[in-house]
Amino acid sequence: MKNRHIIIIVLGFIIIWLTYMSKFGTNIIDAMFWGGFIFIGFILFLVTFVRNIIRFIKERRAQNFFTTYLILAFAIIICGIEYKNQYDFDKPSLLKGSCDGDINRTSIDLKKDGTFIFENSATEIIDYMYGTYTISENKITLDKTFLENVIVTDKLEIRDKEDSENTQTKFLYQIDEKGNILSNEIEFRVIEDNRK
């Protein structure tokens, strides 16, 4: 195996791994690595493709395109993983709740198919966690009891809260087994409700 094949395989697996891991979190450093690896991969593909064409014209052997096929195979796998990641993010939402801080934000997106995406971000770092849930009227049960030191129970409940302008706003509250709101825990303002 030639050195360039080893470089392509190593680079391909690194980009596949970064693409897969982007489902669970991103940060500015990852984005820089991503950009760098994609740029290097694109340049490597162009150089390889031109060399393969030149060799094919001289030798007329289909195996001259092995390196090009290898790069294309990695590109297809990477695009497939990225498509799956985006598909999971873009599934229709049943209910979304969010809590914004000064430099951080946390949210939970309950999808119509019974899955959820929990997002916790601070400055340039975003973490995602996934799970399933069940809902009965205003009560939601998650398959996890601990999400990033933010959600500390597997039970949430949608309740109305009167804001400073005397309007009723829906919130997702963390509750205990008896239905009591857990004090000093984050509450999520409902920003999208498609339960109707």
- DSSP string for 6-26: HHHHHHHHHHHHHHHHTTTEE
Instruction: Give the number of residues written for the chain.
Output: 196
What's residue 70's pLDDT? Answer: 85
Percent of the chain with pLDDT over 90: 41
Q: Mean per-residue pLDDT for 85-108? A: 90
What's residue 125's pLDDT? Answer: 84
Q: pLDDT tens digit string along 166-195?
A: 788 899 999 998 989 998 898 999 999 998
The span from the CA of 78 to the CA of 21, in Å, is 12
The span from the CA of 152 to the CA of 145, in Å, is 6
Give the CA distances from residue 144 to residues 26, 89, 116, 177, in Å, rounded to whole numbers and listed in that order.
Answer: 22, 19, 11, 14
Percent of the chain with pLDDT over 70: 98
What's residue 147's pLDDT? Answer: 86
Q: pLDDT tens digit string along 40-75?
A: 777 877 887 888 888 888 887 777 778 788 888 988
pLDDT at 105 over 90: no
What's residue 140's pLDDT? Answer: 95
Q: Which helix (H) or strand (E) holds 173?
A: strand 168-174
93-193: CATH topology: Lipocalin (2.40.128)
What's residue 1's pLDDT? Answer: 55
Q: Are 147 and 155 in contact (CB under 8 A)?
A: no
What's residue 152's pLDDT? Answer: 92
Where are the extended beta strands (E) located within 68-166? 93-100, 104-111, 115-122, 125-136, 139-142, 155-162
Give the CA distances from residue 137 to residues 22, 54, 156, 176, 195, in Å, rounded to whole numbers and listed in that order.
Answer: 34, 67, 11, 17, 9
Q: Are 58 and 52 in contact (CB under 8 A)?
A: no
What's residue 149's pLDDT? Answer: 81
Torsion from C-alpha of 130, 149, 190, 111, nearest 10 degrees: 10
